[in-house]
Structure 1
Amino acid sequence: MEDSSHIKLDNLLYSCVDRKQRSNEQFVAEHAFGYIISGETHMATSEGIKVMRAGDIGLVRRNQLLKSIKIPPPDGEFKSLNIFLEQGFLRKYAIEYKIEQTERYTGISMMLLSPDPFIKGYFDSLIPYFDRPEHLKSALGELKTKEAIQLLLQHDPALKSFLFDFSEPWKIDLETYMNKNYMYNVPIAQFAKLTGRSLAGFKRDFTKIFKTSPSYWLQQRRLSEAYFLIKDKRRKPSEIYLDLGFENFSHFSYTFKNTFGVSPTRL
């Protein structure tokens, strides 16, 4: 199946693919609450790699960089359901249920939840709507989103601070962050936001630290890592270019040869 097998209904997303597939999106803008129906997904963030398998329920925090790979089971399809808990909806929920804004959340940003039959039943109840989307009216979608929040708080009341921290990223050490996250293919504006800066402030601080522009530094940092992986670690160029943030192999090969005087495949 192609990307058309990703069906989105408002803030609900159903994925179904029959081959290994990388996610195109590498920035998580809103909290994502998901369930793996079949197959598995490998998710990589600065905290490491987490594998979610069939039956697993996960929660991913907003405002972070993430790479994921969907892997179908042998002779089957990868299937998952996700609901995105948007900030505007959570703010209204907090007002309606008199939930005070919590302190800044400092815990992990991606977690697997322990098995919960109520949450499992909740995701099962969503599946029919993707066959008959006309039945998911606006009011019903709002009720299903509220149900998701209530089930999470029932599962673990401590998730309150995860869900209802509405603060934005604060100013952090730019050099450390960029050296940990250079391989994510996102706009410079996203890096600025995630390091707690305006775009102008990010570019100013970046140039002061690295003595060059963000775009040029990112390209050279990715190419340097590619050279190391190919020459010293004997990795195949076709296996690494996406992991390092290049959009396609031809662009990677062209810039690599321009920089090092030899194509990655010849090296």
Structure 2
Amino acid sequence: MADKQDIRSQRILYSCYAHVSREGEQFIPEHVFGYILSGNQVMYVGDKTYHFKAGDFRFFKKNQLCKFIKQPPPGGEFISLSTRLDRETLWAMSEELNLHADAPYTGDGILLLEPNDLLKNYVASLKPYLNATSDIDKALTELKIKEVIMLLLQTNPELKNVLFDFAEPGKIDLEAYMNENYKYNVSISRFAYLTGRSLATFKRDFERIFHTSPNRWLQQKRLTDAHFLIKEKGWRSSDVYMEVGFKDFSHFSFAFKKAYGVSPSQV
């Protein structure tokens, strides 16, 4: 079963997967409050691994790349609920309530929140919206977004410095970032944004550091990883391509054969 989501605003997401684990990767463009109703989830961000179970409340910082595994309980479904804390709502609340970041946020990009009655009651209050058979007024959805923001500020005051920080990503060490995140299948423009650069500056800095273009470097790094996993670790080619950052198997197979002279299955 695929995602069920609030199509009225696409800001409250109800995910449900039955019987089999689901693996994938995603870019988190905006802050998210999340709750797991059933099953377990493993998330990988940079060099950190996070394990979550049913009943866990989570906070996800925006502008992150992550990989995940969603695991349903035996014979059951993985079910989670997420509320997207969009920039427009946060900006309006900042102006209305005079809420501003007053120091750099230094916490983790993913937080396991302490459970409490306020957060439990908030999740319970969303269920009628998710099960509704007719459209719900947009204003009601916006109130639920504002409500969870206020709850997060009350229960985790330190989040003010991340929720109300509207600055674009600052310029960071490009070499270190790319070596850590090259397996994510995102666009060059996304990598540029996340490293605090315009696309033109990113390409110029990249070629100065790596002495090749971003696309060529990414493909070679991914193919080298794929060859190692198939030859040395015994992975199947059908399992490797997504792991190393290719979007589809046919493109991976073509690039692999061009680089190594044989198809992945012949290694």
Same fold (TM over 0.5): yes
Alignment of 1:188-227 (within 5 A): 188-227=188-227
Shift of 1:135: 5.4
Contact 2:241 2:252 (8 Å CA) reproduced: yes
Contact 2:101 2:160 (8 Å CA) reproduced: no
Alignment deviations for residues 155-197 of structure 1 (CA, whole Å, 9 cap, x no partner): 1111111211111111111111100000000111100000000
5+ residue gaps, structure 1:
none
Counterparts of 2:155 and 2:140, CA distance in 1: 22
Counterparts of 1:184 and 1:192, CA distance in 2: 13
Shift of 1:240: 2.6
Which residue number in structure 1 is paired with residue 108 of structure 2?
A: 108
Alignment partner of 1:154 is 2:160: no
Which residue number in structure 2 is paired with residue 92 of structure 1?
A: 92
Alignment partner of 1:256 is 2:256: yes
Distance 1:163 1:253, change over 3 A: same
Aligned AA (1:7):
Q
Alignment partner of 1:38 is 2:42: no
Percent identity of paired positions between Structure 1 and Structure 2: 49
Aligned AA (1:206):
F
Alignment deviations for residues 43-79 of structure 1 (CA, whole Å, 9 cap, x no partner): 1111422122111111110011112222211111111
Distance 1:133 1:33, change over 3 A: farther
Which residue number in structure 2 is paired with residue 59 of structure 1?
A: 59
Please identify, of 164-173 and 27-36, the stretch whose mean Cα deviation from structure 2 is larger: 164-173
Please give the secondary structure, in 1, of the residue aligned with 2:264.
Answer: coil
Contact 2:100 2:165 (8 Å CA) reproduced: no
Contact 2:70 2:78 (8 Å CA) reproduced: yes
Counterparts of 1:154 and 1:101, CA distance in 2: 15
Shift of 1:236: 2.8
5+ residue gaps, structure 2:
none
Contact 2:34 2:82 (8 Å CA) reproduced: yes
Aligned AA (1:89):
T
Which residue number in structure 1 is paired with residue 4 of structure 2?
A: 6
- Compute the RMSD of aligned alpha carbons: 1.6
Counterparts of 1:7 and 1:202, CA distance in 2: 35
Runs (4+) off by over 3 Å = none
TM-score, scaled relative to structure 1: 0.93
Distance 1:219 1:147, change over 3 A: same
Please give the secondary structure, in 2, of the residue aligned with 1:134.
Answer: coil
Please identify, of 28-37 and 226-235, the stretch whose mean Cα deviation from structure 2 is larger: 226-235
Contact 1:103 1:165 (8 Å CA) reproduced: no
Aligned AA (1:26):
Q
Aligned AA (1:22):
E
Distance 1:240 1:49, change over 3 A: farther
Aligned AA (2:259):
T
Which residue number in structure 2 is paired with residue 247 of structure 1?
A: 247
Contact 1:104 1:167 (8 Å CA) reproduced: no
Aligned AA (1:125):
S
Aligned AA (2:39):
G
Counterparts of 2:133 and 2:61, CA distance in 1: 27
Please identify, of 213-222 and 232-241, the stretch whose mean Cα deviation from structure 2 is larger: 232-241
Counterparts of 2:240 and 2:114, CA distance in 1: 34
Counterparts of 1:258 and 1:122, CA distance in 2: 54
Aligned AA (1:73):
P
Shift of 1:146: 1.1
Counterparts of 1:165 and 1:104, CA distance in 2: 8
TM-score, scaled relative to structure 2: 0.93
Counterparts of 1:103 and 1:168, CA distance in 2: 15
Aligned length: 264
Which residue number in structure 1 is paired with residue 22 of structure 2?
A: 21
Please identify, of 225-234 and 12-21, the stretch whose mean Cα deviation from structure 2 is larger: 225-234
Which residue number in structure 2 is paired with residue 178 of structure 1?
A: 178
Counterparts of 1:60 and 1:54, CA distance in 2: 17
Alignment deviations for residues 120-176 of structure 1 (CA, whole Å, 9 cap, x no partner): 221121122122163531111121111101111121111111211111111111111
